[in-house]
Amino acid sequence: MSDNNFFEKNISILATKNQNLTKQILDAGTQKSVYTGTMTAKNGMSVVVFANSKPMYSLYNPAPRIQPADFTRAFNLVGGLGNGYHFQTLLEDSENHVLVVEKNADSIKFLFSQYDFSQILSKPNFDICTSDSLEQTILSTYIPQINGVFNYSANRVWAENNIETEKTINQQIQSSLKRISADYSVQAHFGKIWQRNILENLYIFSKQKKNSLLTIPNHKTAAIIAAGPTLDSTIQILKNKRSNFYIIATDTASQVLFLNDIIPDAVVSVDGQNISYRHFLKTNILPQTLYILDLCANPSISKAVVNTNGTLRFASGSHPLCKLAADFFKANNNTTLFPFIDSTSGTVTGAALDFAIKAGFNKIELFGADFAYSRGKPYCKGSYLDETYNNSSSRIGTQETAFSALMFRTSLIPLENGTTTTETLQQYNRALTNAFEKSSSHIVRISADLQPQNLTTRKNTINNQDQLDFFSETLYNPSNFADFITWILKSISEARGKPQSDIITALLPFAAWCEKKGYYQSSKNSFDIILDLAQDFFKRYAE
């Protein structure tokens, strides 16, 4: 087979798995390839050679060198494609996932022109990327609940010939695993709570007869209220110009507004914890206020809204089970019952902002969205923590002591004017900034000195269909909930023994919680254990 035939065969298979890398390889040359030629080993096997004439494998017996770890299941990142000899043993077990990272597209193009990789590329447990896209590839392919432990190994000669690339790879590994670990930790803590809340809220939703038509005065300025310390000095603006604003409060700030005689037009809540209900203990449920709840939110809030004949709308956040439910109910009702509200920022302020954008507000102002400890305080006056810490204070453990412990639980990063922040708060701020940059609305943040800070510069298109579905009048089919549970149980049965499916994706947060509790080991057990546990969980809602 000619060199060109090798390349065409390899690239056609890669195109079915990774179109972006395929395009990079087609556009690349071979001048920057780390490989420059080939040699033949004593046993007749071909061996690729580097620019310094060093072969990548032994010229006596270039046998596979990387052996599987002592785990049933692992995600194996391998440095260097070479001839593929060094990771072939890993690929023999379908439970192992292999991701090969090569220096650049030129190197892959050279190899694709020399060797037939069709059998390797065709394996469903194999992926390949270049070093500059490694972090994003790990983030999109490594799922701890399914892939188990993470291992990195590189061919020794390849690593010696790619010292700077090796440094870049290690940096990207650390960065990507840090992000995955943070996300996994949240899932491990909240996985079961979220799943329970989604089912409870869907049940509450199914008992409603209809959504009435809502009219949102989006010609006004949307004021999004968070509970940062600067709200103490900016809340007077809301009082003085109340009629100018459509006030959208985060759940944390709703009590603060109520204590200042300000009734919010809407309240957004995404927190699934039981403590989130404490934001509403002083306000109760306000009949003239619209409550927008993520399906993952605490169902005590939705129950209270329904019991007081309040106005309630559920939204689908980023939880994969929410998406699964939203798709099911849309298919069975021919309309979007749970529009997507973006809560991927990790903060309710981000969800409130997304609601305001989708509601069509052209002008949005943020109050108390500090994402920092301004003036040495974590929250504004009147938040639920004020009363919580005050009730538990003593002579040797004052309210100030409790707030200080809250602020100093992680390392503080100093900013200007005595303001400090943390790495987590900075992540929230960056996520919100990304939302600003994509928005077509004019968004400003009101600072402590009452000066607006412009946050948007570019234009984009809002999904008008999301706006229409969210506020339109909708009649419900009460049998949908029972049908949904039946469909979920069927999906679980059909997913057994499969490497991936929509229901498996939907159960990943629950799987993280199960692993934390010791019911499941991702590196050793079949995911069928999670399916068994989930089946028992969902059956309770079928009774």
Over residues 375-430, the pLDDT tens digits come to: 667 777 776 666 654 555 555 555 555 445 545 556 666 777 667 676 776 777 77
The percent of residues above 70 in pLDDT, for the chain, comes to 80
The partner residues of 314 in beta bridges, in order of sequence, read: 293
What number of H helices and E strands is found in the chain? 22, 18
Q: Which two tokens stand for residue 74?
A: 């692992």
Examine the pLDDT at 136 and tell me if it is beyond 90: yes
Q: What is the pTM of this model?
A: 0.85
Indicate whether 491 pLDDT > 80.
yes
Q: Which residues of 5-21 are buried (b: 16+ CB within 10 A; e: fewer)?
A: ebbebbbebbeeebeeb
Domain ranges of the chain: 3-161, 218-270+341-469, 478-539
Cβ of 522: how many Cβ atoms within 10 Å?
Answer: 24
Coil, strand, or helix at residue 522? coil
155: closest CA among 254, 224, 56? 56
- On average, the pLDDT of the chain sits at 85
Q: How far is CA 302 from the centre of its chain?
A: 24
Report residue 71: phi and psi, to 5°.
Answer: -140, 150
Mean pLDDT of the 276-298 span: 79
Pairwise CA distance, residues 473 & 528, whole Å? 41
Which pLDDT score is estimated for 543? Answer: 66
- DSSP, residue by residue, 220-245: SEEEEE---TTHHHHHHHHHHTGGGE
